[in-house]
């Protein structure tokens, strides 16, 4: 083959390559235009929240201990409210199986952590209701009691620690690791499921007894008389779980600073609701809608330690709320907070999706406009 023939063949190859490339480009353009036309003529069905659980019960917030009336302003970094997603997943709460052996199991759980009759500790068992039992003992002069729900194994431990002299004269102090290890061992001995709780996420406070027996922050480790430890369940879909006394948890322990053994646990509240994987999607309010409800006094204020009645809100976040009452579902909330420890919640689920609203499930999903 001569040089001339080679050059001619290269030119032909380039020519046909350009023709093929042009054809493919035109074909690609035609296909994409066709897709656009098809979407206009035959649009895909709207993507509505599935609302698989039907209408949901509203969140049963407890009575707030904050009764003042506030005015609100925004002091977020952006100066505006955040843009929240239009929907969120709602999960079921796992139901605790109830059997004839529940009371026996409850007794075993409290016995392994020291609430047993030794004949010398003034042990007493009291049946408060068919599903609520109380056990009391006296340990080293300290009266301690446990009230447990025998269906759920939720419990509250209390004591007369405010008048207990050894608290005021402790010879040694534990560290935070020892506090976590004591609580971990306590729950393990009771055989309570804690797979959704990470001890690394626990919050610990160093406290001392103030005037009238009130607990106040300790200035240093040497002045610490008691530790408070709050446990928090794992986030759901990267959204945190909040509790009625936020920023505190419904899973908390108070113990002597020495924290040697279970007898040093002075108080405990353990209301643990495990979250199922079963879920459904529901529409939620915008941050603006939630803010308007807060301004109208419709929010639940969990805590406030300030004195100013004008609240400059610095953070607005979406999360989930676990009441101490078992409602069957864990529902989303919008949290408003300020730098001076103001915390308020507004339910996030659209009103049309609640059992207290007469709207249809189609209205809940947004398929039709609420005629009300």
CATH number at residue 313: 2.40.128
Residues 130 and 232 in one domain: yes
Per the structure, how many domains does the chain have?
A: 3
Beta bridge partners of 252: 230, 269
Residue 114 backbone class (left: φ over 0; alpha: ψ -120 to 50; beta: rest): left
Distance between CA atoms of residues 294 and 272, nearest Å: 28
Number of H helices, E strands in the chain: 6, 17
Residue that finishes a domain, picked among 272, 298, 330 = 272
Q: What percent of the chain has pLDDT over 90?
A: 66
Residues 112 and 225 in one domain: yes
Residues 251 and 290 in one domain: no
Q: What percent of the chain has pLDDT over 70?
A: 88
Residue that finishes a domain, picked among 272, 299, 318 = 272
Please, are residues 304 and 341 in contact by the beta-carbon 8 Å criterion?
Answer: yes
Q: What is the pLDDT of residue 8?
A: 67
Banded pLDDT at 171 (limits 50, 70, 90): low
Q: What is the pLDDT of residue 82?
A: 95
pTM of the model: 0.85
Query: Does residue 59 fall inside a structural domain?
Result: no
Residues 82 and 109 in one domain: no
Query: Does residue 58 fall inside a structural domain?
Result: no
Quick: pLDDT tens for 22-31: 667 776 776 7
Q: Retrieve residue 231's tokens.
A: 């446990």
Residues 130 and 262 in one domain: yes
Q: What is the pLDDT of residue 300?
A: 96
Residue 292 backbone class (left: φ over 0; alpha: ψ -120 to 50; beta: rest): alpha
Residues 250 and 294 in one domain: no
Q: What is the pLDDT of residue 140?
A: 85
Query: Does residue 37 fall inside a structural domain?
Result: yes
Residues 18 and 162 in one domain: no
Task: Show contacts of 297-301: CB within 8 Å, 24+ apart.
Answer: 297/69, 298/346, 299/336, 299/344, 299/345, 299/346, 300/61, 300/62, 300/64, 300/344, 300/345, 300/346, 301/64, 301/66, 301/342, 301/343, 301/344
The range of the structural domain enclosing residue 209 comes to 102-272
Q: What is the pLDDT of residue 127?
A: 97
Q: What is the pLDDT of residue 223?
A: 85
Quick: pLDDT tens for 96-125: 888 889 999 999 999 999 999 888 889 999
């Amino acid at each position: 083959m001569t040089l001339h023939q080679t050059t001619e063949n290269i030119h032909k190859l380039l020519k046909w390559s350009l023709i093929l490339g042009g054809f493919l480009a035109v074909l690609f353009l035609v296909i994409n235009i066709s897709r656009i036309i098809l979407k206009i003529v035959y649009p895909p069905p709207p993507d509505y929240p599935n609302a698989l659980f039907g209408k949901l019960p509203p969140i049963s917030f407890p009575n707030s201990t904050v009764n003042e009336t506030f005015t609100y302003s925004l002091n977020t970094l952006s100066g505006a409210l955040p843009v929240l997603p239009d929907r969120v997943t709602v999960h079921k709460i796992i139901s605790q199986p109830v059997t004839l052996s529940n009371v026996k199991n409850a007794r075993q759980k409290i016995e392994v952590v020291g609430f047993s009759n030794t004949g010398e500790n003034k042990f007493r068992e009291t049946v408060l209701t068919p599903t609520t039992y109380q056990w009391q003992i006296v340990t080293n002069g300290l009266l301690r009691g446990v009230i447990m729900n025998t269906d759920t194994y939720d419990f509250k431990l209390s004591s007369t620690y405010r008048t207990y002299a050894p608290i005021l004269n402790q010879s040694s102090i534990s560290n935070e690791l020892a506090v976590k290890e004591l609580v971990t061992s306590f729950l393990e001995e009771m055989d309570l499921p804690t797979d959704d709780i990470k001890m690394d996420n626990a919050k610990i406070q160093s406290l001392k007894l103030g005037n009238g027996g009130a607990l106040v922050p300790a200035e240093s480790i040497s002045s610490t008389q008691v530790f408070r430890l709050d446990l928090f369940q794992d986030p759901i879909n990267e959204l945190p779980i909040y509790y009625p006394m936020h920023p505190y948890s419904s899973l908390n322990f108070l113990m002597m600073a020495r924290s040697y053994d279970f007898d040093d646990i002075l108080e405990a509240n353990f209301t643990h609701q495990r979250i199922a994987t079963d879920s459904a999607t529901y529409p939620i309010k915008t941050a603006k809608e939630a803010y308007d409800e807060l301004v109208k006094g419709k929010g639940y204020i969990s805590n406030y330690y300030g004195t100013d009645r004008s609240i400059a809100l610095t953070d607005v976040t979406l999360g989930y709320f676990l009441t101490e009452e078992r409602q069957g579902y864990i529902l989303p909330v919008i949290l408003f907070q300020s730098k001076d420890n103001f915390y308020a919640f507004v339910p996030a689920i659209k009103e049309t999706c609640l059992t207290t609203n007469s709207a249809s499930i189609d209205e809940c999903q947004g398929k039709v406009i609420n005629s009300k």
